[in-house]
Amino acid sequence: GPETPLRELSSGPVSLATAQQAATRFGDVLSLGAMLMGPVLLALLARFRPCMSQTSQRLPPIDVALDYGTENGVPHTDHRWAPLDPLNIHKQRTWEGSQLAMAAMTGVHEDRSGWLDKLSTLPCAVEFAQSVDLQDPSSDMVVVIGSKDSLPTVNNVHEAVPFNHMLKGLSGGNVSAGTASTSYSVVDGGEDKLCTFMVCCTSTTASRHNSPTRPDQIWQFCKKQLVAPAKKGKTISIIVAVSKLEDVFPAACAVARAFPLWTAKTGSPVQPYRVKVGFVCQETNEIPKDLLERCQAAGKAIEFAAALVDLPPSELNVDSYVKLSEGLSESLGFEMNVYRGETLKAMGLNGLYDVGKCALEEPALLVCSKRVDPVRRTADTKSIVWVGKGITYDTGGLAVKPREGMCGMKTDMGGSAAVFGAFLAAVQQPLDADLHAILCIAENAIGPKALRNDDIIHMYSGKTVEVNN
C-alpha cells in the first residue's frame, strides 16, 4: 500500500508511491544525460553522414592489393576487387596504419637487437685503473668512498674542496652510508665549469649478512647517486679507500654491480658510461696490476649477468641464449657441449625436457668446461661444477600464474646468469681446478604438449616426481 515503508527488494515489496518517485528521478537523470550527450551524438552523426548516405548505393569497385610478403623469394600479392564504400575504405586505412605501426616497431626492435652482439664482447660500464686524478678538469663528478678510518688517506683532492671539514661531520650508519657533497668551479678548455664533489662514508659494522668492506652500502650509494648522472653522459671519477688489499676486490664488484648495461627506454643514451674507478689502500702505495685485471674481469661478468636478467624474453630466449654462449666459447676458449630437445629425453634428463617441451624453442642443456693447463695439473687436481637454472620465461605452464605472479618471470633464468657470469670471470684467470658450468635452459610455456598437473616425471637420478603445481 501507499504507506508501506521503503525496504530492500530482498526484504519485501516496495511501495507504489516510492516506485513512482524513483521512476520520476530516473527519467530526470535520462533527460539530463540526453542534454549532455546530445551535442556529442550530433557531431558524430554529422561526421559519419556521408557513410550512412552511401550504404544504399555502391560506388564502382577498386583494385585492392593485399601484400603477403614473399614466398620462395617471389613477392606474393593478392589483387581483389572490392566495393568502394566508406566502411571498406576505413578498414583499409586502419590496416595500412597498423602495417606502418608494425614497421615502425620492427625498426625499433632491429635497432635494439644488437644487444646480444654487444654482450658477446663482454663490455664493461666501469673502468678500473691504478690511479685516478681527482683534479682532472674533464671530470663532472668526483667521488670518494670509504670508511671513517680509510677516507683520510685520500689525497690530491682539489684545493677548493673542504675535504677535511666534510669528513668531521660524517659517520657511516649500520644500514645506509653517510654522505656529503659540495660544488666547486674549475676551468676546462678555457671555460669555467661547475663540478660536484661527493663523499660516501661507509660503516665498518659487520654481520653474517655483510663484511667490513660493506659492499652493500657501496652498491646502494653508487646506484642511488651516480647511475642517473652517468646515464646523462657525465664523466665520473671515483676513488675507493680501503684498509686492506683484500678489500679491493669486493669493493670493485660492488661498484660494477651498480651500473646496468642494458636499457630499452626511449631516448636512453647509447654511448658507454664514462666512469673511472681507482683505489687507495692503507697497506700499500700501489695496487697490483693483476688484481686490477681480476677486478675488471669480475666487473664485466657482473654487468653481463645483470644484462641477461634485464633482457626481455623476446630477445633472450633459448635459441639466442645458446647462440650467445657458443660465441663466448669461441672467443674465450672454453669447451662447450649443447644437448637439446629429444636428445635430453633419450639421455634421461626428463626434468628439463618436460618443462620445456611445449615451447617454440627446444630446451637445452649447456655444459661449459675449462680445464687446468697440463703444466699446472697434478694428481690432486679437482673438479668444480656449478649448476644454474635458466628458465627464460615461466608462465607456470598449465598451472598458469596470475598476472601479478607472472610479471617479472623473465628473471627465472637469473641462476644460470649468475653461474655463467662467474664462469666467464673465472676462465680468464689461471685455474687450479677443472671448472664446469651446467646451464639448464628452457621456457615453461602453455600448449598441447605442456606438462600437466598429476604427471609423474622420471628424473635422471632415478627418482620420480609428481607434479602438483
pLDDT digits (tens, 9 = 90+) for 278-333: 999 999 888 999 999 999 999 999 999 999 999 999 999 999 999 999 999 999 99
Task: Summarize the confidence of residues 166-191 as an average pLDDT.
Answer: 86
Q: Which pLDDT does position 27 carry in this prediction?
A: 56
Q: Which three cell numbers stand for residue 25?
A: 528521478
Closest Cα partner for 214 from 167, 180, 254?
254
Average pLDDT score over residue span 189-197:
89
Q: How many Å apart are CA 223 and CA 221, to the nearest integer?
A: 5
**What is the percent of the chain where pLDDT is above 90?**
53
Which has the higher per-residue pLDDT, 217 or 29? 217
Give the number of other CB atoms < 10 A from CB of residue 71: 8
- State pLDDT tens for residues 370-399: 999 988 899 899 999 999 999 999 999 999
How far the first Cα of the chain sits from its last, in Å, is: 59
Whether the pLDDT of residue 109 is over 80: the answer is no
Tell me, what's the pLDDT at 31? 55
State what percent of residues in the chain have pLDDT above 70: 75
> Mean pLDDT for the chain?
80
Judged on CB neighbours under 10 Å (0-12, 13-18, 19+), 112 is middle
Give the per-residue pLDDT at 101.
Answer: 40
Residue predicted with more confidence, 285 or 76: 285
Any bridge partners for residue 80, and if so which?
Answer: 64
Considering only residues 239 and 14, tell me which one the structure prediction assigns the higher pLDDT. 239
> How far apart (Å, rounded) are the C-alpha atoms in residues 246 and 251?
9
Query: Is the model's pLDDT at 267 over the cut of 90?
Result: no
pLDDT of residue 131: 84
- What value does the mean pLDDT take over residues 18-35? 55
Segment 136-165 mean pLDDT: 91
CA 319 to chain centre: 18
**Sign (positive or negative) of CA dihedral 26, 31, 32, 38:** positive
Q: Cα dihedral angle (395, 401, 402, 407), rounded to 10 degrees? A: -40
- pLDDT of the residue at 63: 42
Higher pLDDT, 102 or 76: 76
Instruction: Read off the pLDDT band of 169 (50, 70, 90).
Output: confident
Cα distance between residue 215 and residue 247, in whole Å: 9
pLDDT above 60: residue 12: no
